[in-house]
Structure 1
Amino acid sequence: MVSDTDLFKEIRPYRDDEVAGAIARLIADDEFIGAIARYRYAGLSRMGGSLVKGLIRLYLTWRWRRVTSVHQVQLEVARFMEKMISGTTSGVTYSGLEHLNPDTGYLFISNHRDIAMDPAFVNWGLYTHQLHTVRIAIGDNLLRKPCATELMKLNKSFIVKRSAKGPREMMKAFSELSAYLRHSLDEQHSIWIAQKEGRAKDGDDKTDPAILKMFYMEGKRQKIPFSDYIRSLNLVPVSISYEYDPGDVAKARELHAKDTAGAYEKSEFEDIQSIVQGITGQKGRVHVAFGQPMTGDFDNADELAQAVDREIHANYHLFPSNLLAAGQVEGVDDNARREFEHHISQVPDELRDRVLAMYAQPVLNKG
């Protein structure tokens, strides 16, 4: 008989007994070491690439020599998060965490603005409030390099097979994913998943009903009514608000290209660049709001999607950047206004209206 763990081996995160092997493969991966050399030690790397790579390998071998469990990996991530928050934000705040039960697995469905930082900030809130961190849904489109897969699966990420082709293959992939979500929640492991595929580049946070239909596939297989099954998932909408989006210009440039040229072609490493930009870029203040579990009666995915949207929009924290972009100056102090004007002045002229619209959209969504 195949165990549950083996059943999901292709998509699940690594277990404790797989951590040491994954770390060894990472340290041996030339692309991974080369990426660290380029992003962290660019100047030194140009002068002596092989020497710098060798030193990085030695350092990582020493640094990670005692990391043999998922929990220890999470502690390494927590140390990194603390430095990142200190260096790239003006503070991170949370609301709604007091309503969460530490002994319950939740399916957190959130708006999506940043590839890596959205689940990272959710996790930081849970971690600092003595709650269990989440298993993170990540599309296989971001895992083109072996080192990316190793890193993500070490950090409690599971794989969403977006590259599945054809109805039968897609049905199989989404059925497996739906069953894995159920399996995780039954074991009190919480999940983070975005409300739709891809980031809301225009600032308009909308839930894709197809995601919710995928949630229900396992319930449908078990012949459980939609509303009953959704309630059993402990589905909690999460609103993540950034005062400033480090990727706002890049997102606006993509939208501009689609509108003016009819298409936008991503460069080979663009997703990686977006991740690095999101991690290292200045974000101002960040607020993460955890909503109430969706316990109502919902007849179908479309109805549920509208309810999730209402909760995400209602809980979205509006910063001065949002209010000013929407033309609401009342109550905004001069410092915040000057900071926003300076930020917008750095945006290329042809993209400025799009960036303003991006920041204004959450105000419009609140109504």
Structure 2
Amino acid sequence: MREFDDIRPYNDCEVPEVIGRLIADNELIDLLLEDLFSGAGKLLYPWLRPFLRARLKYTSRKIDTVDMLQQHLAIRLKSILDQTTDGYSFSGLSGLENNKSYVFMSNHRDIALDPAITILGLVESGRDSLRIAIGDNLLSKPFASDLMRINRSFIVKRSIVGRREKLKALKVLSSYIRQSVCNEGISIWIAQAEGRAKDGKDRTETALLKMLALSRSKDQDFSSAINELNIVPVSISYEYDPCDADKARELYIAKTGNSYVKTAFEDLETIKKGFIGYKGRVHVHYGSPCKIANIGAENLAADIDDQIFCGYRLFPSNIVAWKMLYDSLDVMELRDCWPDEDWFVAHSKFEKRIEALPEKHRDIVVQAYASPVTDQLSSSHQRA
């Protein structure tokens, strides 16, 4: 297991030391102070730090295992969801075996909330938690790495540039995932593609699937190696995306031929906005385990995409956005799924959100909300 030491989550025996390290980190403390005392000048931070540290030490005094930390965070997560959503729901869990471990592969809209709410559905149905794959691009600060790894996250080394070094890192990652699922019986969550689907187009990267098969034995073919991992496609649907305006701005900059440069704490700010921003209704659907025979990564990716498209809960925001772009009888069928919806209110609410954006960003956001409808209709028509 020592070969995984630089990517694995922290163990129970490491929790007290890591919590102590986090509480001692001035950068983290100052970020928290910025939220708690936004009106206070930074000159006051040296005097405020001891009080916040004392509070954090008191709050964490009984947390000495990863499970205890996750129980504490789950309570906080449910409280946040109660305040920032109009309800959240889960489906498909009855199709999963309680005593089996899986690779939960989801579409990716929110950096931290996607895995968090996937875990919540599992835990609330009496299942175990899981390990989370997270890119090292999100871990530019030491405290960020500690925060993630103490919460069952393992590191995907995306920043490596050398071809040989990158292949070596991918093999270690693949072996760790297989070790977790096949030997330890611990499920994992991983996004279907690198980075969030800012344009609303959920597509599985074949390179990800090929990585999962790198750890297969010499006499195994691709299908056999993949089947051992029990890949379950997961569809995560947010009626409203708290970060939609930011995503549109980034896409617009790229569209106009310019390079988008992140600020130092942008990823952390994005995580915060995803948690505390209004999301409307939220739904998570767990699909069926993928069992394949004699097919390659391209066909498997298409199968995963199809499950994610079909499991996606099309909310009124998606339907209104699609209607703004297209005029089709399909809209009436989609509306029938929401018989109690006040469509005048739904239209007004969505249009007000769009009108609050810079005009040059509006089409990008409408397209992003409409994309799941296009994908689901296309998938349904192909099966018909």
- TM-score (ref. length: structure 2): 0.91
Name the CA shift for 1:27/1:45 in 2 (closer, same or farther; >3 Å). Answer: farther
1:158 to 154, 159, 170: 154
Equivalent residues in 2 for 1:264-303, closer than 5 Å: 264-303=260-299
8 A contact 1:108–1:236 mirrored in 2: yes
The yes-or-no answer on 1:56 pairing with 2:66 is no
Q: Which amino acid aligns with 1:294?
A: C
Aligned equivalent of 1:203: 200
Match of 2:187 in 1: 190
- Distance in 2 (alpha carbons) for counterparts of 1:51 and 1:268: 25
**Structure-2 separation of matches of 1:298 and 1:215:** 16
CA change 1:44–1:80 in 2 (3 A) is farther
State how far apart, in whole Å, the 1-side matches of 2:149 and 2:103 are. 19
> Structure 1 residues 298 and 266, CA, compared in 2 at 3 Å: closer, same or farther?
farther
Per the TM alignment, residue 345 of structure 1 is displaced from its structure 2 partner at its CA by: 2.1
| Pairing 1:1-367 to 2, within 5 Å after superposition | 4=1, 6-44=2-40, 48-186=44-182, 187-219=184-216, 221-327=217-323, 328=331, 330-331=335-336, 333=342, 334-366=344-376, 367=378
For the residue of structure 2 that corresponds to 1:66, the secondary structure is coil
* Contact kept in structure 2, 1:44 and 1:52, CA below 8 Å: no
Against the structure 1 CA distance between its residues 262 and 227, is the aligned structure 2 distance closer, same or farther, given a 3 Å change threshold? same
CA shift for structure 1 position 128 = 1.1
Amino acid at match of 2:90: Y
Per-residue CA shift, 1:181-230, capped at 9, x if unaligned? 010002111000000100001000000000000000001x4431111111
Aligned residue pair count: 362
What SS does the corresponding residue of 2:165 show, helix, strand or coil? helix
Q: CA deviation at 1:46?
A: 5.1
The structure-2 alpha-carbon separation of the partners of 1:83 and 1:41, relative to structure 1 and needing over 3 Å to count, comes to farther
Q: Which residue identity does 1:237 align to in structure 2?
A: P
- After TM superposition, the runs of 4+ consecutive aligned structure 1 residues lying more than 3 A away are 44-47, 328-332
Rounded to whole Å, the distance in 2 between the matches of 1:175 and 1:46 is: 45
Per-residue CA deviations over 1:312-364 (Å, capped at 9, x if unaligned) read: 01111100000000003655523322222222222221111110000000000
Q: Distance in 2 between matches of 1:17 and 1:338?
A: 53
CA contact (8 A) 2:292 2:300 kept: no
SS in 2 for 1:218: coil
Aligned CA-pair RMSD: 1.4
Unpaired runs of 5+ in structure 1? none
Q: Describe the SS at the equivalent of 2:284.
A: strand
Percent of counterpart pairs with the same letter? Answer: 44
Secondary structure, aligned partner of 1:197: coil
Q: 1:102-160 CA deviation, whole Å, 9 max, x = no partner?
A: 21111001100010110011011111111111100000010111110111011000000
Distance across 2 between alignment mates of 1:263 and 1:150: 30
Mapped contact 1:123–1:134 kept (Cα < 8 A)? yes
Structure 1 distance, partners of 2:19, 2:151, is 11
- Structure 2 stretches lacking a partner, 5+ long: 324-330, 379-384
Provide TM-score, normalisation by structure 1: 0.96
CA–CA distance in structure 2, aligned partners of residues 338 and 245 of structure 1: 17
Q: Give the Å deviation of 1:267.
A: 2.0
* Matched residue type, 1:208: E
Amino acid of the structure 1 residue aligned with 2:371: Q
Deviates most, 320-329 or 108-117:
320-329
Equivalent AA in structure 2 for residue 291 of structure 1:
G
